[in-house]
């Protein structure tokens, strides 16, 4: 039996105090498996970033349980959450979040040293995204696509078991977006990494194993994509929230 790397049970998140509070996540139960790319889609304000932040140990749930790689995040204090983030999570941000006064290589090396990993592997990380020749370049000397690849190299450096990406292709053109998703897909397959991508971009579906749709803080639909190399032919199924197949979408 497959063991989920992420187990979310009845999770809610409220912002603000009693009278003016807003429930951004209203009861989510979901298992996520290693070696899979899971895409979270949904309109703006549906709670995607809130959910992703809880999975990364940045935001505590209001209720419910969240287990990621064996750590119960709903029971962690701030120190434990920080240790968890550094050892288990690679974050990829929409706006790259590179430090402008550091070179591409230094941006990665500093992330590695925060993780307690050998910063010498920064070069290999940069090479893995095809940017070895840009090691000494500062962010303002790189194109948007190159900056995003540095951001990805930083997230991949040290080989964290979970990669969380919030709108990673939003600032990129179609070709750059494809390359970014190919990279994430490749890493998932080679290392069994758990990848969750929040996106508005329908083109990202193609690189996923599962698409989860959210609305008003709830999951409304889960579509599992059986990849051609797995099935020998292409197929899509709609599955219910409990994970049972309820309707076939694509033909097999």
Residues contributing to the site for Mg ion (CB under 5 A): 49
> Looking at beta carbons only, is 12 or 146 nearer to ligand ADP?
12
101 binds, among Mg ion, ligand ADP, none (CB under 5 to 8 A by kind): none
> Looking at beta carbons only, is 49 or 128 nearer to Mg ion?
49
Distance CA 252, CA 161 (A): 32
> Looking at beta carbons only, is 49 or 193 nearer to Mg ion?
49
24 binds, among Mg ion, ligand ADP, none (CB under 5 to 8 A by kind): ligand ADP
Tokens 């996106």 sit on residue: 199
113 binds, among ligand ADP, Mg ion, none (CB under 5 to 8 A by kind): none
DSSP 142-166: S-HHHHHHHHHHHHHTT--SEEEEE
* Residues at the interface with ligand ADP (CB under 6 A): 15-16, 22, 24, 42, 44-50
Tokens of 211: 């698409």
Cα 246 to Cα 7, 201, 222, 237, 251: the distances in Å are 22, 25, 10, 8, 14
> Looking at beta carbons only, is 24 or 68 nearer to ligand ADP?
24
DSSP 115: T
Minimum distance of Mg ion from residue 95's CB (angstroms):
12
Partners of residue 180 on adjacent β-strands: none
22 binds, among Mg ion, ligand ADP, none (CB under 5 to 8 A by kind): ligand ADP
């Amino acid at each position: 039996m497959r063991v989920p790397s992420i187990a979310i049970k009845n999770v809610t998140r409220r912002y603000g105090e009693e009278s003016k509070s807003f429930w951004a996540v209203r009861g989510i139960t979901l298992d996520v498996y290693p070696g899979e790319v899971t895409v979270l889609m949904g309109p703006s304000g549906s709670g995607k970033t809130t959910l992703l932040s809880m999975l990364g140990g940045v935001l505590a749930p209001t209720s419910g349980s969240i287990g990621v790689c064996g750590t119960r995040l709903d029971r962690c204090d701030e120190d434990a959450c920080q240790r968890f983030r550094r050892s288990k999570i690679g974050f990829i941000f929409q706006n790259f979040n590179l430090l402008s006064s550091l070179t591409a290589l230094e941006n990665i090396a500093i992330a590695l040293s925060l993780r307690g990993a050998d910063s010498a592997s920064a070069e290999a990380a940069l090479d893995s995204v095809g940017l070895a020749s840009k090691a000494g370049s500062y962010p303002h000397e790189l194109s948007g696509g190159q900056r995003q690849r540095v951001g990805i190299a930083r997230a991949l450096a040290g080989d964290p078991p979970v990669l969380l990406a919030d709108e990673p292709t939003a600032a990129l053109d179609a070709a750059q977006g494809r390359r970014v998703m190919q990279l994430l897909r490749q890493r998932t397959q080679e290392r069994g990494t758990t990848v969750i991508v929040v996106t508005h971009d329908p083109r990202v579906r193609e690189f996923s194993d599962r698409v989860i749709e959210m609305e008003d803080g709830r999951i409304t639909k889960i579509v599992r994509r059986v990849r051609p190399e797995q099935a020998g032919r292409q197929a899509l199924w709609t599955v219910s929230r409990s994970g049972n197949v309820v309707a076939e979408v694509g033909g097999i």
